[in-house]
Structure 1
């Protein structure tokens, strides 16, 4: 009798777990695909395929990634793009340029793709400075993907897929950094306020282009406090943040929020979540204990003051305790910091996630 009960119970468990799996799979389909545009904070290897000085496909990058291999991610492990994909129950997105030569590329676009490039910016001058794939070019690539999807699925099914998909955008930092490093490719005497005006005058057209190619759910991750990166702190004898640069990073975010609000008021079928990375990273440095960090100024991997003078090169020194550092190298967060940031991108509330978080955006 006991055996019979056991078999019935185990059969019931099988049915229940099967149903849960089916229900879960159906629920996952709320977001069928993720498309990422941006810079090195979300590049998963596109720069490996182009002639650019900005690369991360060498040690010690990737030391905590699968097989401890460097992949072109500018961090010790996973970056924001990886965690966003995981949260949506999607596989990590391939870098677009890895698919261009693939024979079955049309099917590989169905779950989305990552166009991000280290050094990319809103303005094309970042392309000249860093030899990266600018946001305009990334949108050109997306336009190609859109065409492939229409060929494969037809226009209606493509629009249905894209209207449920999330379009993640992380851009703007390199426009600022390029300006700080040398404003040589901009008109002479350009000021920081003029730079922000210029970025905010160009960005709406770029977002509108993505919208016109089917995007309806935008997840925009704002600019962090660039003045608090090890690179900028290392220029200051006391290791404090550059407050002027921070002020303009914050200003950029406020302008982007207004831009997205305006765009939504013009397009009823568009929704967005804006994440205030500025406040989040500032909170890391002001309340590190609350997040499990003990080192907020010094990079884990690099050379010079605060290890903030060079990228993470094979000759660089690197820390053994990566999880308690906010920064991996002179500009980029550690995997530990990215994980917390993306948790809050998804679950956060105002003022961090505005007007809704990405979990709520996905459910719309």
Structure 2
């Protein structure tokens, strides 16, 4: 643990002195990176909270039906299936690379020096509400993800001391992408009472009230730079399309999630005003998705409404089965399975979130946030 503390301190010193080093030498070496450190680290670390869109293995050892640690998941990932719900990279994998960081390890696997550049706490089937995702049995809701972060924070503080740990954390990126399952695996599930208890606006209000408390908790633990991802056009995912009797997206579901995204934007403006030193930015996933579908041919996509692997209508009724043979032309598909985008889409979205304009990421992009 002492050695880890020294490494953390060195990492922080390297990051704080990075701009000067770049001017002097034009290139920075960092011994923590697997490639010998021939790239710049823009932040000391990134901490990730979310669901299956960015889970990278936290559910692997849980008694859960929400797992992706088997082929064909990971077919295009160096190392094969890891628990990522993708054929390759997730969105946060690409963001980590753009920030000059190595891939962020899952909390379930990270120990010692592995937490040096951050930890991924995301869990498939998890939600803002603890009750979300119970159909999948075990999962790690957002509240518990935050408690897991506290465990990591205790390790950091024990080694760095409270003041130095706080200074380092204030420079780190906290990526949060929650809410999809609170609709898919709660509100829209027939065995949940939620739809009978709340209309769309009331449910969005409930979710964002809870979400605000959770983000305030992360702030109180030392987080300052937040990247919050909105919900995509969920009525257009193969799973929802497969349930519809009509062709194309379910506009009913698309309309259902609009109040959530609107509330999140309002929440972020309020938090930026209320929490000293905080910077919250919003990634408009719905806008990104619309752009990709509208300009599908420009991006090289030919299939926008069904999964590359899966069973049933639009390959969306059952997700990828173990050892199922997926489509060969994966870069032409927007969706990998019934719920999740392909690596290509993840990389496009990450890149636009990193350096895009305010129509995509508001009020500043991730690159600008990292440089503050």
TM-score by length of 1: 0.89
Structure-1 separation of matches of 2:233 and 2:244:
15
Instruction: Give matches, 1:177-326, under 5 Å.
Output: 177-178=184-185, 179-182=187-190, 184=192, 186=194, 188-314=196-322, 316-326=324-334
**For 1:45, which of 45, 57, 61 is the aligned residue?**
57
Q: Which ranges of structure 1 fall in alignment gaps of 5 or more residues?
A: 1-15, 100-104
Query: Once the 2 structures are TM-superposed, how far is the Cα of residue 117 of structure 1 from its aligned partner?
Result: 0.3
Name the SS of the counterpart of 2:59 in structure 1.
Answer: helix
**For 2:141, which of 134, 148, 160 is the aligned residue?**
134
Asked if the contact 1:120/1:174 (under 8 Å) is kept, the reply is yes
Query: Once the 2 structures are TM-superposed, how far is the Cα of residue 23 of structure 1 from its aligned partner?
Result: 8.4
Answering whether residue 44 of structure 2 is matched by residue 36 of structure 1, we say no
Asked if the contact 1:30/1:164 (under 8 Å) is kept, the reply is no
Structure-2 separation of matches of 1:344 and 1:203:
25
Task: Assess, with a 3 A threshold, how the Cα gap between structure 1 residues 23 and 303 changes in structure 2: closer, same or farther.
Answer: closer
Matched residues, number: 343
Query: Once the 2 structures are TM-superposed, how far is the Cα of residue 241 of structure 1 from its aligned partner?
Result: 0.7
Name the SS of the counterpart of 1:349 in structure 2.
Answer: coil
Q: Deviations over 1:109-136 (max 9, x none)?
A: 2211000000110011115333210000
Name the SS of the counterpart of 2:132 in structure 1.
Answer: helix
Task: Assess, with a 3 A threshold, how the Cα gap between structure 1 residues 31 and 191 changes in structure 2: closer, same or farther.
Answer: same
**For 2:66, which of 54, 64, 67 is the aligned residue?**
54
Asked if the contact 1:116/1:138 (under 8 Å) is kept, the reply is yes
Structure-2 separation of matches of 1:66 and 1:17:
34
Query: Once the 2 structures are TM-superposed, how far is the Cα of residue 252 of structure 1 from its aligned partner?
Result: 1.1
The residue aligned with 1:22 is 28
Query: Once the 2 structures are TM-superposed, how far is the Cα of residue 28 of structure 1 from its aligned partner?
Result: 3.3
Q: CA RMSD in A?
A: 2.1
**For 2:172, which of 154, 165, 178 is the aligned residue?**
165
Structure number with the higher helix fraction is 1
Q: Which ranges of structure 2 fall in alignment gaps of 5 or more residues?
A: 1-21, 31-36
Query: Once the 2 structures are TM-superposed, how far is the Cα of residue 271 of structure 1 from its aligned partner?
Result: 0.5
**For 2:349, which of 341, 344, 348 is the aligned residue?**
341
The residue aligned with 2:107 is 96
Answering whether residue 116 of structure 2 is matched by residue 110 of structure 1, we say yes
Structure-2 separation of matches of 1:112 and 1:315:
32
Structure-2 separation of matches of 1:107 and 1:358:
25
**For 1:355, which of 332, 355, 363 is the aligned residue?**
363
Asked if the contact 1:307/1:330 (under 8 Å) is kept, the reply is yes
Task: Assess, with a 3 A threshold, how the Cα gap between structure 1 residues 214 and 28 changes in structure 2: closer, same or farther.
Answer: farther
Name the SS of the counterpart of 2:175 in structure 1.
Answer: strand
Structure-1 separation of matches of 2:23 and 2:362:
36
Query: Once the 2 structures are TM-superposed, how far is the Cα of residue 145 of structure 1 from its aligned partner?
Result: 1.1
Asked if the contact 1:49/1:98 (under 8 Å) is kept, the reply is no
Structure-1 separation of matches of 2:361 and 2:316:
29
Asked if the contact 1:106/1:152 (under 8 Å) is kept, the reply is no
Q: Which has the larger radius of gyration?
A: 1
Q: Deviations over 1:241-265 (max 9, x none)?
A: 1112111223211110110110010
Structure-2 separation of matches of 1:94 and 1:30:
18
Q: Deviations over 1:256-302 (max 9, x none)?
A: 01101100101230012210001111222222112221110111000
Structure-2 separation of matches of 1:257 and 1:36:
19
Task: Assess, with a 3 A threshold, how the Cα gap between structure 1 residues 17 and 275 changes in structure 2: closer, same or farther.
Answer: closer
Name the SS of the counterpart of 1:22 in structure 2.
Answer: coil
The residue aligned with 2:154 is 147
Task: Assess, with a 3 A threshold, how the Cα gap between structure 1 residues 61 and 316 changes in structure 2: closer, same or farther.
Answer: same
TM-score by length of 2: 0.88
Task: Assess, with a 3 A threshold, how the Cα gap between structure 1 residues 330 and 199 changes in structure 2: closer, same or farther.
Answer: same
